[in-house]
Amino acid sequence: MQAIVLVGGEGTRLRPLTADVPKPAVTLVDRPFLAYAIEWLAAHGVTEVVLACGFLPDALREALAGEEERAGVAITYYAEPEPLGTAGAIRFAADSLGDRLEDRFLALNGDVLADLDLSALLRAHEERGARATIALHPVADSAAYGLVSCDEEGAVLEFREKTGEPVPGRINAGAYVLERDVLDLVPAGKAVSIEREVFPRLVGDGLHGLVLEGYWMDIGTPERYLQASWDILEGRVETRVEPTTAGMLVAADAVIAEEASVGPRAIVSPGCRIEAGAEVADSVLLDGCTVGRDALVSGSILAPGAEVEAGAALRNAVVGRDERVPG
Ligand code: GDD
Ligand code: MG
Protein backbone atom coordinates (compact mmCIF):
# COMPACT_ATOMS: atom_id res chain seq x y z
CA MET A 1 0.00 0.00 0.00
CA GLN A 2 1.24 3.49 -0.89
CA ALA A 3 0.53 6.67 1.05
CA ILE A 4 1.02 10.11 -0.44
CA VAL A 5 1.74 12.54 2.39
CA LEU A 6 1.32 16.28 1.90
CA VAL A 7 4.27 18.07 3.41
CA GLY A 8 4.48 21.17 1.26
CA GLY A 9 2.85 23.77 3.49
CA GLU A 10 5.01 26.53 4.93
CA GLY A 11 3.85 26.07 8.51
CA THR A 12 3.49 29.82 9.01
CA ARG A 13 1.55 29.45 12.27
CA LEU A 14 4.51 27.66 13.87
CA ARG A 15 7.11 30.29 12.98
CA PRO A 16 9.89 30.75 13.94
CA LEU A 17 10.10 26.97 14.55
CA THR A 18 9.47 26.47 10.85
CA ALA A 19 11.72 29.29 9.60
CA ASP A 20 14.47 26.91 8.49
CA VAL A 21 12.83 23.47 8.71
CA PRO A 22 9.52 22.41 7.20
CA LYS A 23 6.80 21.62 9.74
CA PRO A 24 7.04 17.83 9.27
CA ALA A 25 10.77 17.96 10.10
CA VAL A 26 10.34 19.97 13.30
CA THR A 27 11.22 17.88 16.35
CA LEU A 28 8.20 16.79 18.39
CA VAL A 29 9.38 15.42 21.75
CA ASP A 30 12.48 13.58 20.49
CA ARG A 31 12.02 12.88 16.78
CA PRO A 32 10.99 14.63 13.59
CA PHE A 33 7.26 15.08 13.56
CA LEU A 34 6.85 13.05 10.39
CA ALA A 35 8.44 10.00 12.02
CA TYR A 36 5.20 9.51 13.99
CA ALA A 37 3.10 9.59 10.83
CA ILE A 38 5.44 7.16 9.08
CA GLU A 39 5.25 4.78 12.03
CA TRP A 40 1.44 5.07 12.06
CA LEU A 41 1.23 4.33 8.33
CA ALA A 42 3.62 1.39 8.59
CA ALA A 43 1.42 -0.11 11.34
CA HIS A 44 -1.48 -0.18 8.85
CA GLY A 45 0.35 -1.93 6.05
CA VAL A 46 1.85 1.01 4.15
CA THR A 47 5.10 -0.04 2.50
CA GLU A 48 5.89 3.15 0.54
CA VAL A 49 5.50 6.67 1.87
CA VAL A 50 5.51 9.23 -0.93
CA LEU A 51 6.27 12.71 0.33
CA ALA A 52 4.72 15.52 -1.69
CA CYS A 53 7.19 18.25 -0.78
CA GLY A 54 7.31 21.90 -1.59
CA PHE A 55 9.27 24.03 0.79
CA LEU A 56 12.82 22.86 1.75
CA PRO A 57 12.76 19.18 0.66
CA ASP A 58 16.45 18.70 1.54
CA ALA A 59 15.87 19.59 5.18
CA LEU A 60 13.16 16.94 5.28
CA ARG A 61 15.41 14.31 3.74
CA GLU A 62 18.08 15.13 6.30
CA ALA A 63 15.65 14.97 9.23
CA LEU A 64 14.35 11.59 8.10
CA ALA A 65 17.74 9.96 7.58
CA GLY A 66 17.54 6.39 8.93
CA GLU A 67 13.74 6.42 9.13
CA GLU A 68 13.27 3.95 6.26
CA GLU A 69 15.17 1.25 8.13
CA ARG A 70 13.57 2.08 11.48
CA ALA A 71 10.00 1.96 10.20
CA GLY A 72 10.54 -0.65 7.48
CA VAL A 73 9.05 1.48 4.68
CA ALA A 74 10.42 3.01 1.49
CA ILE A 75 10.31 6.81 1.39
CA THR A 76 10.08 8.61 -1.93
CA TYR A 77 10.44 12.40 -2.22
CA TYR A 78 8.89 14.54 -4.95
CA ALA A 79 9.19 18.31 -4.90
CA GLU A 80 6.67 20.45 -6.77
CA PRO A 81 8.06 23.29 -8.86
CA GLU A 82 5.57 25.60 -7.11
CA PRO A 83 2.90 25.02 -4.46
CA LEU A 84 0.05 23.19 -6.17
CA GLY A 85 -2.42 23.01 -3.30
CA THR A 86 -3.56 19.84 -1.59
CA ALA A 87 -5.08 18.12 -4.66
CA GLY A 88 -2.51 19.51 -7.11
CA ALA A 89 0.28 18.14 -4.94
CA ILE A 90 -1.31 14.68 -4.78
CA ARG A 91 -1.70 14.75 -8.55
CA PHE A 92 1.92 15.84 -9.01
CA ALA A 93 3.21 13.03 -6.78
CA ALA A 94 0.90 10.54 -8.53
CA ASP A 95 2.13 11.64 -11.97
CA SER A 96 5.72 11.40 -10.74
CA LEU A 97 5.08 7.80 -9.66
CA GLY A 98 3.62 7.07 -13.11
CA ASP A 99 2.92 3.36 -13.60
CA ARG A 100 4.09 2.65 -10.08
CA LEU A 101 1.00 4.33 -8.62
CA GLU A 102 -1.41 1.74 -7.21
CA ASP A 103 -5.13 1.82 -8.13
CA ARG A 104 -6.06 2.60 -4.53
CA PHE A 105 -3.87 4.54 -2.13
CA LEU A 106 -3.90 6.58 1.05
CA ALA A 107 -3.41 10.36 1.08
CA LEU A 108 -2.61 12.27 4.25
CA ASN A 109 -2.02 15.71 5.59
CA GLY A 110 1.53 15.68 6.94
CA ASP A 111 0.85 17.72 10.07
CA VAL A 112 -1.44 15.36 11.90
CA LEU A 113 -0.47 13.26 14.93
CA ALA A 114 -2.91 10.38 15.19
CA ASP A 115 -3.41 6.72 15.88
CA LEU A 116 -6.74 6.35 14.07
CA ASP A 117 -7.53 2.94 12.60
CA LEU A 118 -6.57 3.35 8.96
CA SER A 119 -7.16 -0.36 8.35
CA ALA A 120 -10.84 0.19 9.25
CA LEU A 121 -10.91 3.14 6.83
CA LEU A 122 -9.56 0.93 4.04
CA ARG A 123 -12.09 -1.80 4.84
CA ALA A 124 -15.04 0.62 4.83
CA HIS A 125 -13.88 2.10 1.53
CA GLU A 126 -13.71 -1.34 -0.05
CA GLU A 127 -17.06 -2.54 1.34
CA ARG A 128 -18.89 0.55 0.15
CA GLY A 129 -17.21 0.60 -3.26
CA ALA A 130 -16.33 4.25 -2.60
CA ARG A 131 -14.22 6.50 -4.83
CA ALA A 132 -12.90 8.46 -1.85
CA THR A 133 -13.30 7.86 1.89
CA ILE A 134 -12.43 10.53 4.43
CA ALA A 135 -11.46 9.75 8.04
CA LEU A 136 -13.63 11.86 10.33
CA HIS A 137 -12.91 13.03 13.85
CA PRO A 138 -15.44 14.66 16.21
CA VAL A 139 -14.43 18.07 17.66
CA ALA A 140 -16.10 20.68 19.84
CA ASP A 141 -15.07 23.57 17.57
CA SER A 142 -14.97 22.84 13.84
CA ALA A 143 -14.33 26.43 12.65
CA ALA A 144 -10.75 25.90 11.42
CA TYR A 145 -11.28 22.52 9.79
CA GLY A 146 -13.26 20.84 7.03
CA LEU A 147 -16.75 20.14 8.36
CA VAL A 148 -18.33 16.97 6.95
CA SER A 149 -21.87 15.68 7.23
CA CYS A 150 -22.89 12.19 6.15
CA ASP A 151 -26.05 10.12 5.81
CA GLU A 152 -26.59 6.96 7.87
CA GLU A 153 -24.61 4.83 5.44
CA GLY A 154 -21.68 7.21 5.55
CA ALA A 155 -22.18 8.87 2.16
CA VAL A 156 -21.03 12.49 2.42
CA LEU A 157 -23.90 15.00 2.12
CA GLU A 158 -21.82 18.14 2.49
CA PHE A 159 -18.15 19.12 2.79
CA ARG A 160 -17.52 22.68 3.97
CA GLU A 161 -13.93 23.87 4.44
CA LYS A 162 -13.20 26.30 7.29
CA THR A 163 -16.66 27.58 8.00
CA GLY A 164 -15.37 29.94 10.68
CA GLU A 165 -18.37 28.91 12.79
CA PRO A 166 -17.34 27.58 16.23
CA VAL A 167 -19.82 24.71 16.21
CA PRO A 168 -19.22 21.06 17.18
CA GLY A 169 -19.06 18.54 14.37
CA ARG A 170 -17.24 15.82 12.53
CA ILE A 171 -14.23 17.16 10.75
CA ASN A 172 -11.95 15.99 8.00
CA ALA A 173 -9.07 14.35 9.87
CA GLY A 174 -6.78 14.78 6.85
CA ALA A 175 -6.56 11.07 5.98
CA TYR A 176 -8.17 9.66 2.85
CA VAL A 177 -8.45 6.49 0.83
CA LEU A 178 -8.56 7.46 -2.85
CA GLU A 179 -9.22 5.55 -6.03
CA ARG A 180 -6.77 6.53 -8.71
CA ASP A 181 -9.51 7.83 -11.03
CA VAL A 182 -10.33 10.63 -8.57
CA LEU A 183 -7.20 12.31 -9.93
CA ASP A 184 -9.00 12.79 -13.26
CA LEU A 185 -10.86 15.63 -11.51
CA VAL A 186 -7.55 17.42 -10.89
CA PRO A 187 -6.03 19.24 -13.87
CA ALA A 188 -2.26 18.64 -14.07
CA GLY A 189 0.09 21.49 -13.26
CA LYS A 190 -2.56 23.71 -11.67
CA ALA A 191 -3.04 24.70 -8.04
CA VAL A 192 -6.10 22.79 -6.83
CA SER A 193 -7.49 22.31 -3.33
CA ILE A 194 -8.87 18.86 -2.51
CA GLU A 195 -11.05 20.35 0.23
CA ARG A 196 -12.53 23.22 -1.77
CA GLU A 197 -12.57 21.88 -5.30
CA VAL A 198 -12.46 18.09 -5.36
CA PHE A 199 -14.47 16.82 -2.37
CA PRO A 200 -17.46 19.11 -3.01
CA ARG A 201 -17.61 17.76 -6.58
CA LEU A 202 -17.57 14.15 -5.34
CA VAL A 203 -20.55 14.62 -3.02
CA GLY A 204 -23.22 12.16 -4.21
CA ASP A 205 -20.67 10.55 -6.50
CA GLY A 206 -18.73 8.09 -4.36
CA LEU A 207 -17.52 10.31 -1.50
CA HIS A 208 -17.79 8.64 1.89
CA GLY A 209 -16.79 9.42 5.46
CA LEU A 210 -16.06 7.21 8.45
CA VAL A 211 -15.76 8.37 12.05
CA LEU A 212 -12.72 6.78 13.64
CA GLU A 213 -12.10 6.47 17.36
CA GLY A 214 -8.71 7.36 18.71
CA TYR A 215 -6.22 10.14 19.18
CA TRP A 216 -6.04 12.96 16.63
CA MET A 217 -4.31 16.32 16.64
CA ASP A 218 -3.26 18.85 13.98
CA ILE A 219 0.03 20.26 15.33
CA GLY A 220 -0.14 23.45 13.28
CA THR A 221 -0.07 26.00 16.16
CA PRO A 222 2.24 26.40 19.19
CA GLU A 223 -0.61 25.56 21.60
CA ARG A 224 -1.38 22.33 19.78
CA TYR A 225 2.32 21.49 19.39
CA LEU A 226 2.70 21.72 23.18
CA GLN A 227 -0.50 19.78 23.82
CA ALA A 228 0.68 17.02 21.45
CA SER A 229 3.99 16.85 23.37
CA TRP A 230 2.23 16.27 26.70
CA ASP A 231 -0.19 13.82 25.08
CA ILE A 232 2.80 11.76 23.92
CA LEU A 233 4.61 11.97 27.27
CA GLU A 234 1.46 11.19 29.27
CA GLY A 235 0.48 8.27 27.03
CA ARG A 236 -2.73 9.63 25.49
CA VAL A 237 -1.36 8.62 22.09
CA GLU A 238 0.66 5.49 21.52
CA THR A 239 4.20 6.11 20.22
CA ARG A 240 7.68 4.66 20.60
CA VAL A 241 8.74 7.56 22.83
CA GLU A 242 9.95 6.53 26.29
CA PRO A 243 9.32 9.34 28.81
CA THR A 244 11.69 9.90 31.73
CA THR A 245 8.61 10.21 33.95
CA ALA A 246 4.99 10.94 32.93
CA GLY A 247 4.99 14.38 31.28
CA MET A 248 8.78 14.69 31.26
CA LEU A 249 11.63 13.83 28.96
CA VAL A 250 15.08 14.87 30.09
CA ALA A 251 18.11 13.93 28.00
CA ALA A 252 20.83 12.03 29.85
CA ASP A 253 23.45 14.61 28.92
CA ALA A 254 21.40 17.70 29.85
CA VAL A 255 23.07 19.73 32.59
CA ILE A 256 20.52 20.87 35.17
CA ALA A 257 21.66 22.74 38.28
CA GLU A 258 20.41 21.23 41.52
CA GLU A 259 18.82 24.54 42.48
CA ALA A 260 16.78 24.71 39.24
CA SER A 261 13.14 23.66 39.01
CA VAL A 262 12.05 21.64 35.97
CA GLY A 263 8.54 20.33 35.33
CA PRO A 264 6.03 18.91 36.12
CA ARG A 265 5.81 19.01 32.33
CA ALA A 266 8.97 19.64 30.36
CA ILE A 267 11.19 18.44 27.56
CA VAL A 268 14.89 19.07 27.99
CA SER A 269 16.74 17.85 24.90
CA PRO A 270 20.36 16.78 24.48
CA GLY A 271 22.94 19.48 25.05
CA CYS A 272 20.67 21.74 27.10
CA ARG A 273 21.84 23.60 30.20
CA ILE A 274 19.61 24.98 32.97
CA GLU A 275 21.32 27.10 35.59
CA ALA A 276 20.68 27.57 39.31
CA GLY A 277 17.45 29.24 40.35
CA ALA A 278 15.92 28.86 36.88
CA GLU A 279 12.37 27.57 36.48
CA VAL A 280 11.21 25.62 33.42
CA ALA A 281 7.58 24.51 33.30
CA ASP A 282 5.20 23.33 30.54
CA SER A 283 7.93 24.06 28.03
CA VAL A 284 9.97 22.39 25.32
CA LEU A 285 13.70 23.01 25.04
CA LEU A 286 15.02 21.56 21.78
CA ASP A 287 18.70 20.65 21.31
CA GLY A 288 21.40 22.77 22.89
CA CYS A 289 19.30 25.45 24.61
CA THR A 290 20.46 27.39 27.66
CA VAL A 291 18.34 28.84 30.44
CA GLY A 292 20.38 31.22 32.61
CA ARG A 293 20.34 31.81 36.37
CA ASP A 294 16.97 32.70 37.89
CA ALA A 295 15.29 32.83 34.47
CA LEU A 296 11.69 31.69 34.01
CA VAL A 297 10.49 29.70 31.00
CA SER A 298 6.81 28.81 31.03
CA GLY A 299 4.46 27.51 28.30
CA SER A 300 7.16 28.11 25.69
CA ILE A 301 9.01 26.37 22.87
CA LEU A 302 12.73 27.01 22.34
CA ALA A 303 14.20 26.06 18.95
CA PRO A 304 17.68 24.49 18.94
CA GLY A 305 20.45 26.66 20.34
CA ALA A 306 18.16 29.28 21.86
CA GLU A 307 19.36 31.06 24.97
CA VAL A 308 17.28 32.63 27.71
CA GLU A 309 19.62 34.91 29.60
CA ALA A 310 19.91 35.14 33.38
CA GLY A 311 16.89 36.75 35.01
CA ALA A 312 14.72 36.78 31.86
CA ALA A 313 11.05 35.79 32.03
CA LEU A 314 9.51 34.02 29.06
CA ARG A 315 5.86 33.04 28.96
CA ASN A 316 3.86 31.43 26.13
CA ALA A 317 6.50 32.25 23.54
CA VAL A 318 8.24 30.54 20.63
CA VAL A 319 11.95 31.36 20.37
CA GLY A 320 13.78 30.77 17.06
CA ARG A 321 17.00 28.89 16.40
CA ASP A 322 20.04 30.38 18.17
CA GLU A 323 17.99 33.39 19.30
CA ARG A 324 18.78 35.11 22.62
CA VAL A 325 16.16 36.32 25.04
CA PRO A 326 17.73 39.17 27.01
CA GLY A 327 17.48 39.25 30.81
N1 GDD B 1 2.92 19.56 -1.27
C2 GDD B 1 2.04 20.46 -0.83
N3 GDD B 1 1.72 21.51 -1.64
N4 GDD B 1 1.51 20.32 0.40
C5 GDD B 1 0.63 21.25 0.83
C6 GDD B 1 0.26 22.36 0.05
C7 GDD B 1 0.84 22.49 -1.27
O8 GDD B 1 0.58 23.43 -2.02
N9 GDD B 1 -0.63 23.10 0.77
C10 GDD B 1 -0.79 22.48 1.95
N11 GDD B 1 -0.03 21.36 2.00
C12 GDD B 1 0.07 20.38 3.10
C13 GDD B 1 0.45 20.99 4.44
O14 GDD B 1 1.86 20.88 4.64
C15 GDD B 1 -0.29 20.11 5.43
O16 GDD B 1 0.44 18.95 5.77
C17 GDD B 1 -1.53 19.67 4.67
O18 GDD B 1 -1.23 19.88 3.29
C19 GDD B 1 -2.79 20.45 5.05
O20 GDD B 1 -2.51 21.85 4.94
P21 GDD B 1 -2.76 22.85 6.16
O22 GDD B 1 -2.35 24.20 5.69
O23 GDD B 1 -2.16 22.32 7.41
O24 GDD B 1 -4.34 22.83 6.22
P25 GDD B 1 -5.29 23.02 7.48
O26 GDD B 1 -4.73 22.37 8.69
O27 GDD B 1 -5.61 24.47 7.58
O28 GDD B 1 -6.62 22.22 6.99
C29 GDD B 1 -6.53 20.91 6.49
O30 GDD B 1 -6.34 19.98 7.55
C31 GDD B 1 -7.46 19.86 8.48
C32 GDD B 1 -7.10 18.77 9.47
O33 GDD B 1 -5.91 19.06 10.09
C34 GDD B 1 -7.81 20.56 5.71
O35 GDD B 1 -7.59 19.35 5.06
C36 GDD B 1 -9.04 20.48 6.63
O37 GDD B 1 -10.17 20.08 5.88
C38 GDD B 1 -8.75 19.49 7.75
O39 GDD B 1 -9.86 19.46 8.66
MG1 MG C 1 -2.92 21.64 9.25
- Residue-wise pLDDT for 272-304, tens only, equals 999 999 999 999 999 999 999 999 999 999 999
| Atom 30 of ligand 1, nearest CA residue | 174
Task: Give distance in angstroms: CA of 112 to centre of ligand 2.
Answer: 7
| Atom from ligand 1 closest to the CA of residue 194 | 35
2-233 has which fold?
Answer: Spore Coat Polysaccharide Biosynthesis Protein SpsA; Chain A (3.90.550)
- Run of H or E residues at 151: none
* Least confident span in 34-43, 60-69, 180-189, 310-319: 60-69
Task: Give distance in angstroms: CA of 270 to centre of ligand 1.
Answer: 31
Selection from 128, 117, 132 nearest residue 194 by Cα: 132
Protein residues whose CB sits closer than 6 Å to any atom of ligand 1: 6-9, 52, 54, 80, 83-86, 89, 109-112, 145-146, 161, 171-172, 174, 195, 218, 220
pLDDT for position 106 = 98
pLDDT mean over 175-179: 98
CA distance 285 to 264: 14
Ligand that lies nearest to the alpha carbon of residue 23, given by its number in the listed order: 1
Q: What residue ranges of the chain are covered by domains with CATH 2.160.10.10?
A: 248-325
Residue 268: which residues within 8 A CB-CB, separation 6 or more?
249, 250, 251, 254, 256, 262, 274, 280, 285
pLDDT mean over 128-146: 97
| Atom from ligand 1 closest to the CA of residue 144 | 27
Task: Answer yes or no: are the C-beta atoms of 288 and 270 closer than 8 Å.
Answer: yes
- Residue-wise pLDDT for 186-225, tens only, equals 999 899 999 999 999 999 999 999 999 999 999 989 999 9
pTM of the model as a whole: 0.93
DSSP 213-232: -S-EEE--SHHHHHHHHHHH
Question: For residue 12, what pLDDT band results from cuts at 50, 70 and 90?
Answer: confident
Question: For residue 10, what pLDDT band results from cuts at 50, 70 and 90?
Answer: confident
Identify residues whose C-beta is under 5 A from ligand 2, the ion. 111, 218, 220
What is the C-alpha radius of gyration for the chain, rounded to an integer number of angstroms?
A: 21
| Atom from ligand 1 closest to the CA of residue 7 | 14
Task: Give distance in angstroms: CA of 230 to centre of ligand 2.
Answer: 19
Long-range contacts from 120-127, C-beta under 8 angstroms, 24+ separation: 120/210, 120/212, 121/175, 121/177, 121/210, 121/212, 122/1, 122/44, 122/177, 124/154, 124/208, 124/210, 125/177, 125/208
pLDDT for position 56 = 66
pLDDT mean over 304-325: 97
User: C-alpha angle 207/94/211, rounded to 5°?
Assistant: 30
- Residue-wise pLDDT for 141-171, tens only, equals 999 999 999 999 999 999 999 999 999 999 9
| Atom 19 of ligand 1, nearest CA residue | 109
Ligand that lies nearest to the alpha carbon of residue 220, given by its number in the listed order: 2
Task: Give distance in angstroms: CA of 237 to centre of ligand 2.
Answer: 18
| Atom from ligand 1 closest to the CA of residue 111 | 16
Q: What residue ranges of the chain are covered by domains with CATH 3.90.550.10?
A: 2-233
pLDDT mean over 172-190: 96
| Atom from ligand 1 closest to the CA of residue 145 | 39
- Return the CATH number of 248-325, one of 2.160.10.10, 3.30.70.270, 3.30.1490.20, 3.20.20.70: 2.160.10.10
* Least confident span in 18-22, 40-44, 51-55, 109-113: 18-22
pLDDT for position 13 = 86
Selection from 302, 209, 222, 299 nearest residue 254 by Cα: 302
Task: Give distance in angstroms: CA of 218 to centre of ligand 2.
Answer: 6
pLDDT for position 14 = 86
Task: Give distance in angstroms: CA of 275 to centre of ligand 1.
Answer: 40
Selection from 267, 265, 263, 228 nearest residue 250 by Cα: 267
Higher pLDDT, 9 or 304: 304
pLDDT for position 9 = 77
- Which ranges in the chain belong to alpha helices (H)? 33-43, 57-63, 67-71, 85-97, 118-128, 199-202, 222-233
Phi (first) and psi of residue 108, to 5 degrees: -140, 145
pLDDT mean over 242-253: 96
CA distance 216 to 121: 15
Task: Answer yes or no: are the C-beta atoms of 52 and 6 closer than 8 Å.
Answer: yes
| Atom from ligand 1 closest to the CA of residue 80 | 1
* Least confident span in 59-73, 120-134, 190-204, 305-319: 59-73
Ligand that lies nearest to the alpha carbon of residue 217, given by its number in the listed order: 1
Ligand that lies nearest to the alpha carbon of residue 141, given by its number in the listed order: 1
